[in-house]
Structure 1
Amino acid sequence: MTMKRTGIASNRSWSDVAYSRAVRLGNLIEVAGTTSSGPAGEILHPGDMYMQAREICSIIKRSIDELGGSLDDVVRTRVFVTDISQWEAAGRAHFEAFGHMEYPPASAFYGINELLHADLLIEIEATAIVGDG
């Protein structure tokens, strides 16, 4: 049996590396590493970890909603930050998105050297499972 595969294009200037913003296969939704950037590749909220994280959570929410899920379906996030000392600012935005849940997603924060652009401070990936398990 073949599961239905649907997705959302990234619509970013660097999408020529063949990736999707999010892909749904059956009841699984995977959201690609998401940064605080606009459709033309412009960096949103440069220098502000908290606002970048909020923007990212909003993009992730829209992506999952578009594929028939919700933030309540998120079971895992991975948060990559270029300055681990700012993890609390990123964590505050993460809490705003997921803190309402009885069991928030499993999550990990990683300190990394850099992202695709020097003004990008954070990137978040998400995994959601839609429907009853």
Structure 2
Amino acid sequence: MKEVIRTEAAPAPVGPYNQAIAATGKMIFLAGQISLNPKTGEIVGVGDITQQTKQVMTNLEAVLAAAGATWENVVKTTVFLTDLPNFAAMNQVYAQYFNEATAPARACVEVPRLPKDVLVEIECIAMID
């Protein structure tokens, strides 16, 4: 279902992601998640990139589970940060959810603003049978 693509002819990944993933099956496109607590509707970890990233990953995991998927099914993520110096702290949390050898492909970009003025938003694509 998921095959890691690697080549020495392109730069090696500098984090928990791979250069490319070949995938077969049914595609699931997860909307970007921010650090909203689903029960209260309040932002978790105001001003704290670590707490916000943990909540984002919790929210993504809930949507994956509802689709019958796990982190192993994720083939691509996009991370949006309002301040690129938060990359290392976000990446430390993000890395806890993926095996580095089979991690999905990933893009990370800085944006001027995110909904509700959060620090991070992450979206992903997963494949299931």
TM-score, normalized by the shorter chain, greater than 0.5: yes
CA contact (8 A) 1:72 1:101 kept: no
Match of 2:126 in 1: 128
Match of 2:54 in 1: 54
Match of 1:17 in 2: none
Structure 2 segments unaligned to the other structure (5+ residues): 1-24
**Following the alignment from structure 1 to structure 2, what is the Cα–Cα distance between the partners of residues 33 and 62?**
13
Specify which structure has the bigger relative contact order, considering alpha-carbon pairs within 8 angstroms and separated by 6 or more residues.
Answer: 2
Cα shift at 1:66: 1.2
Equivalenced residue count is: 104
Cα shift at 1:33: 0.8
1:41 aligns with 2:32: no
SS in 1 for 2:115: coil
CA contact (8 A) 1:82 1:113 kept: yes
Match of 1:89 in 2: 89
Runs (4 or more) in structure 1 with deviation over 3 Å come to none
**Following the alignment from structure 1 to structure 2, what is the Cα–Cα distance between the partners of residues 56 and 116?**
13
Identity %: 30
Match of 1:3 in 2: none
Q: How does 1:15-30 map to 2 (within 5 A)?
A: 27-30=26-29
TM-superposition CA deviations, 1:67-92 (whole Å, max 9, x none): 11111000000000001011011111
Cα shift at 1:41: 3.0
Cα shift at 1:65: 1.0
Which has the higher mean CA deviation after the structures are superposed, 27-36 or 38-47? 38-47
TM-score by length of 1: 0.73
SS in 1 for 2:72: helix
TM-score by length of 2: 0.75
CA contact (8 A) 2:37 2:55 kept: no
